[in-house]
Every structure is written in structure tokens, then in C-alpha cells.
Amino acid sequence: MHVLWVEMDEESLHLVDGAFGMSDGVANVRREYREKDGRKFFKIYVAPGCLAEALEVLNRLQDTVSIGEIIVEHEAD
């Protein structure tokens, strides 16, 4: 499994959550966040084998919602 930390505001979080809600089992958007240099990064769990698809969804969403830096972490199952 991968963990993404995505820089966005709470309004964008709701839209990202909705987009992944339509993608069967690709990712799980969490309300958990951490702050880095005054910026909020929300946590997204990505299913094994779905990292490229999740990043593609986020890249497409950047045209309509405020998404900044994306940090990819690797985590054991």
C-alpha cells in the first residue's frame, strides 16, 4: 500500500474524496492531516497496484481544485 500526503484545503478535500469515491477501491481519502511550513497535507491511502491511477486522478483534478505538492510514501501491508 502507498500513502500520499496531498497539499490541499478542506474544500478541495471534499471534491477529491468524491472523485475517489467513484473509483472502486483505488484510494481512501482521510481527514487526517499534518502541517508543514504552514501548509496542510491530507492523507490518502492508495491500494496496492493503484499508485499510477491515483496520481493520474489527482493530476486531472488539479485543473479544477486547489491541489499543491503531493508526497508519496511507501508503507508495508
Question: What is the rounded average pLDDT of the residues 8-37?
Answer: 93
Burial class (CB in 10 A: 0-12, 13-18, 19+), 50: middle
Mean pLDDT (the chain) is: 93
As a whole number of angstroms, the distance between CA 26 and CA 48 comes to 8
Domain count within the chain = 1
Question: What is the rounded average pLDDT of the residues 28-39?
Answer: 94
Yes or no: say if 5 and 70 are a contact pair by the CB < 8 Å rule: yes
pLDDT, tens digit, for every residue of 35-55?
A: 999 999 999 999 999 999 999
Residue span of the structural domain in which 53 resides: 2-74
Question: What is the rounded average pLDDT of the residues 16-25?
Answer: 89
CATH number at residue 20: 3.30.70
